[in-house]
A and B are shown apart, each in its own frame.
Chain A
Amino acid sequence: MKTIFKRPEALAETPTHYCPGCTHGVAHRLIAEVLDELGLRERTVGIVPVGCSVLAFNYFNFDCQEASHGRAPAVATGIKRGRPDLIVFTYQGDGDLASIGMAEIVHAANRGEKFTAVFINNAVYGMTGGQMAPTTMPGQVTTTCPAGRDVEQVGYPIRMCELLASLRTPGFVERVAVHQPKYIIKAKRALKKAFQYQADNRCFSFVECLSTCPTNWGLTPLKAVQWVDETMIPYYPVKNFKSPETEGEGDAD
């Protein structure tokens, strides 16, 4: 009998602790499928973050390092510079990457570090219980902006892909979503490209995944999917922002 669906080898046989309707599991699985398909699992090191996915090293079936909050890109830089033969990826949420770790991700991207950064954007701090993130939507209610995000006070949500794509250094930058099958298929394609660029020793690669957090959004899983469609995607366009092939387009110099 032909096997048409199985657990990827790069995913451990362990139940995850994620909430119902959370898309971390989807993102984990896509990474695992891509590493299996590219045959990279045995030389991969994943950098797991501080946040809901802090225990991801239990869910992946390859070597992992646990980074401190925000520093995954620096940890990845250390590994990749010291051992360029390894395949290294970071996995960070929005508070981790776009708030406390802003310096590390921008400089790693700007140096063109040849690792893959996976950015899970669900517009909220998850593990600490739903506080405002740099990516929280205008008017979105969180535990630290109970009246909704006031852009007069704290500015607008940061668009990381747009910010990183503005850097002159070549790279691959794409925003995807992992809340619905049609987006998930494209997300996998983007992740595969990202890891392929790394395997080819080509460039820094960055994939932002628009994700759900029903628990901290106070929505049912179905309503959360709808919220991504109606609130996040209009502000965070799902598309490719930069790739080595299109390098130089639109540059003033």
Chain B
Amino acid sequence: MRHPVLTMEGISKEFPGVKALSDVNFELYPGEVHALMGENGAGKSTLMKVLSGVYSATQGKIKLKGKEVTFGNPLDAQRQGVSIIHQEFNLFSNLSAAENIFIDRPEMTSRFGRIQWSKMFDEAQRLVDSIGGGEIDVRKEVRHLGVHSQQVIEIAKALSFQADVLIMDEPSAALPENEVKKMFEVVNRLRAQGVAIVYVSHRMKEIFEIADKVTVLRDGTKIDTRSIDEVTEQSLIQMMVGKEVNQLYPVRKQEHGEKVVLQVNQLSLDSTHRISFELRRGEILGLFGVPGSGSHTIAERLFGLKRGTGEIIINGTSVRINSPNEAKAKRIAYVPPDRHRQGIIKPMSIRQNLSLPILPELSKGIVMDRARIEQMSGEYMEKLRIKAPSDQQSVDFLSGGNQQKVVIGKWLAAKPEILILEEPTRGVDVGAKAEIYNIIHQLAEEGLSILLISSEMPEVIGLSDRILVLYKGEVVHEFAHGEADQEQLLQRASHPRLEGGTV
């Protein structure tokens, strides 16, 4: 019988007025990949913060290799063998990879504080090689490295502390689809080396591909730990949500209209690529492609964020769109991929965020009409079921799902005819996902034409009436409703020339 490298016993963590964790037990064995799952707010990140020394637990014990330990801070935890890799990398982009790995480490300096460069470079290269990053030049500045390489550097940094336990928080979130495989290879190497890995992720597919065990948290308590063979996607969701979510994607009740609402002719994406397609009334058109395929640029062009050539025809009239303002006037709305940067103003209230795009319509002259704003915001809070004590609440305190609903809501309030959704459920928990899918579905049934751009294949397949697969600025395939499965979709998106013709 192996001994666990790490045991957490009866961990509770209280914040003023809220119990984030209650009596959680967690065991981790060397050489295992242990997935940690749960909806947002379930306590995953709190548990990991306790483990990595960011928080100290209100109650409970942590044992590392059989000895009870306390971590005063993250550096302390790292020194004792527990490292965490955050979703957002903590790298200095203007320093070399090696410097990032060994930043502020006395063992890399001579007695008088001079950095021993050659030792540092050699050591860094050795570490990076050991996890399969041989192609990375550790002398290169981090900003010249790709996302995957940056992640390798983060892992190497953690390993340089002789990590026994490595926590990976949503490691695939920042990676393009094709680099996730490479990340898995790194994880597999680590597993073979006997490192225990806590893998925090929302993505079901990955969990089944990489994890040995899975622990599910809900509302601050542990639901269960199971071997990965014992669970299915459905049963995991059930454990996370606490109720049965049998239908994540709603079924289409009626066919979409025939009328072409948006027609795009030879729209330029860059200097060489042009694209054409049409969108019908009430249709959900999915655009799928690996990063660099141009789907994001299509959104930017249609919303006036980027200029170029080509023809955009809305309801039969050719229009020019040179700014988001003009797009809005043409009744085009855009829910951008990164809500924190582009979607919500965090310190402002739900009400202010919801009313932002349509303030001119909600004003008398230049003075805002408080009553109408209140009424509008109440209406959309209810329609989208945004959960908050009041619409005066700052959006900063909302969960990811509710924040995303605010972004969708502010554009619905603008009564668009064409809605561009890009990554509409990124960083949103399963429960809210289902709700957002329902909303999207309902909007289409009501006659809104939707352009769905997403890197989540199940989402594109589950929601779209039609899917265009893009590759390097070209439409390489079109799937009708129900035609595509994940494998085909990914194949078309990554190796367009394998078989079949283009559209």
Our verdict on whether A and B bind, yes or no, reads no
